[in-house]
């Protein structure tokens, strides 16, 4: 179904405001389809206290990565106390428990997938349900973590999507866009596929987090009239 000018303008406005994706904008690192890139995403997902991770969760992730514990083999070299101290200094509540979860998750990723979550994807063999089940087997991966992970991973792993989290769906409805994942992919992200959908879903979630609705509407309406 063709997009009208208002819809096109809304999408352009969202992507102009938030062009990098949710994780890149909030944490400063780009998610890549590599062993290290996916592990960095996993760390944020495990520390996430919501589908929109708190500042403390983001700061703790950055602090861990700044210590060069940015891949499963490197994280495996860290100890629980050292991780907890880094996480605590970042202002994250429950640092000891978070450190324990990260240690257990790292061991599972190393033992089962040789440090590379692309092997988890291969084990799922294209089955979206199996993919989610395997992700849930990783210690610390709850609903918030799955939201963070799948929102980004669908960029590289089509079977992970189309995925639209609750925040993004609510934002889509308020801005007059489809909130159904399939409709959003087919009618709005067409031509860009899963990569554009991932960016758009991230932009919608950020618009909700920052309550940007009025500004987006004004900009989109002006662009549609131009």
The domain segmentation of the chain, as residue ranges, is: 1-23+155-226, 32-145
Structure-model confidence comparison of residues 171 and 7, the more confident one: 171
The predicted model gives 5-23 an average pLDDT of: 91
Q: Is the pLDDT of residue 1 over 60?
A: no
* Distance from C-alpha of 214 to C-alpha of 218, rounded to nearest angstrom: 6
What class is the 32-145 domain? mainly alpha
Identify the residue whose tokens are 């983001």: 58
* Helices and strands (H, E) in the chain, number of each type: 14, 0
What's the pLDDT score for residue 197?
86
Dihedral angle over CA of 46, 51, 54, 59, nearest 10? 40
At residue 209, the pLDDT reads 93
User: What pLDDT, in 10s, does the model give residues 85-138?
Assistant: 999 999 999 999 999 999 999 999 999 999 999 999 999 999 999 999 999 999
| Residue with the two structure tokens 């690192």 | 29
Contacts of 150 (CB under 8 A, 6+ apart): 132, 135, 160, 161, 163, 165
Poorest-confidence range of 53-67, 143-157, 186-200? 186-200
Give pLDDT tens digits for 176-215: 998 898 888 887 766 567 778 888 999 999 999 999 999 9
Angle at 112 between CA 129 and CA 21, to 5 degrees: 55
């Amino acid at each position: 179904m063709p997009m009208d000018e208002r819809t096109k303008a809304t999408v352009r406005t969202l992507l102009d405001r938030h062009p990098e994706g949710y994780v890149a904008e909030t944490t400063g690192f780009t998610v890549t389809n590599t062993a290290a890139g996916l592990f960095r995403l996993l760390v944020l997902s495990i520390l996430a206290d919501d589908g929109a991770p708190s500042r403390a969760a983001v700061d703790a992730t950055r602090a861990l990565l700044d210590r060069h514990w940015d891949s499963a083999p490197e994280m495996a070299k860290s100890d629980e106390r050292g991780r907890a101290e880094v996480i605590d200094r970042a202002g994250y509540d429950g640092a000891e428990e978070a450190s324990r979860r990260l240690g257990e998750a790292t061991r599972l990723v190393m033992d089962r997938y040789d440090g590379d979550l692309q092997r988890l994807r291969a084990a799922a063999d294209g089955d979206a349900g199996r993919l989610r089940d395997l992700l849930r087997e990783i210690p610390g991966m709850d609903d918030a973590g799955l939201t963070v992970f799948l929102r980004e991973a669908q960029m590289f792993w089509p079977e992970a999507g189309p995925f639209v989290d609750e925040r993004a769906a609510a934002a889509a409805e308020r801005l007059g866009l489809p909130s159904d994942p399939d409709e959003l992919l087919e009618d709005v992200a067409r031509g860009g596929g899963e990569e554009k959908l991932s960016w758009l879903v991230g932009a919608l979630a950020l618009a909700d987090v920052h309550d940007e609705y009025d500004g987006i509407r004004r900009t989109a309406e002006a662009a549609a009239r131009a």
